[in-house]
Amino acid sequence: MSKPDRVLHEIARRIMKMRSPGAPATAAAAAESMQLSCGDLYRTLETLMGASGLQALLDRAIQITARDHPWLAAVKAGSAADCALSGLSEASEEMSAKQATEGCAALLATILWLLITLIGEDLTLRFVRHAWPNVPFTKLSEGSNE
């Protein structure tokens, strides 16, 4: 897959929904859910990649996702140890709930896609299952049409 596919987007939406159950469908809620998901990834991958390695991965994901969701270009991967996405809340305030949710889900899907391109699907799933044990992950390639 040359870019995050439908299955990855669906997984990303599931993760965000799981992180903010019952939250109202607002741009702020989408940004908050994305921040929490990013924190989960940090706790799972920091040991493996180090904070700077993870920051580089997030920066690349933002750069790629911003091609389809230009408002994300204002977001920066924080160098702080909690992996905060600086500027996300502010940037999302300018967007509709739908646009913010789609952009955040696309960003999370791109992070997962980048991991898959680097270390393969098997290892990526192994790590993300640790991050979100309650999210049902299927073998991504099985559900992909792209």
Partner 1 sequence: MSPTSGATIRRLPTGIDKLDLILGGGIPEFSFNVIMGEPGSGKTTLAHQIIFANATAERPVLYFTVLGEPTLKMLRYQQQFSFFDASKVNESIFFVNLADLALEGDLGKTLNAIQENIERVQPAIVVVDSFRTLILPSGGEGVQEFVQKLAVRLTGSQTTSFLVGEYTAEDKAHNPVFTLADGIIEVSQNVARNSMVRKRRIHKMRGADPQPGLHTIRIGEHGLEVFPRMLRSIEDAQHVVSTTLLSTGIPGLDEMLGGGTLEGSSILVAGPAGAGKSTVAIQFIVEGIRQGQAGVMVIFEETIPKYLSQAASFGIDLQPLIDRGQLEMVYIRPLDLSVDETLFAIQAAVERRGGRRVVIDSLTAMETALAPTFKEDYTESLYRLVGALTTEGISIMLTVEVTTNYNELQFTPHAISFLTHDIVLLRYFETDGRLQSFMTVIKTRGRKHGREIRAYEITDDGLVVGRVLNDLHGLITAVPHRRPDGGSPGDE
Q: Interface with partner 1 by CB under 8 A: which residues? A: 46-53, 57, 115, 118-120, 122-123, 126-127, 130
Min dist CB 64 to partner 1, Å, is 16
- Contact indicator for 76, 62 with CB cutoff of 8 Å: yes
What is the closest distance, in whole angstroms, from the C-beta atom of residue 16 to partner 1 in the complex? 23
Q: Closest by alpha carbon to 20, among 93, 81, 100? A: 100
Give the nearest distance from C-beta 57 to partner 1 in angstroms.
8
**Is the alpha carbon torsion for 98, 99, 104, 108 positive or negative?**
positive
Give the angle 71-55-43 at the CA atoms, nearest 5°.
110
Pick the closer one to partner 1 by CB: 21 or 142: 142
Q: Hey, is 17 helix, strand or coil?
A: helix
Kindly tell me which of 104 and 125 has the beta carbon lying closer to partner 1.
125
| Residue whose CB is less far from partner 1, 25 or 56 | 56
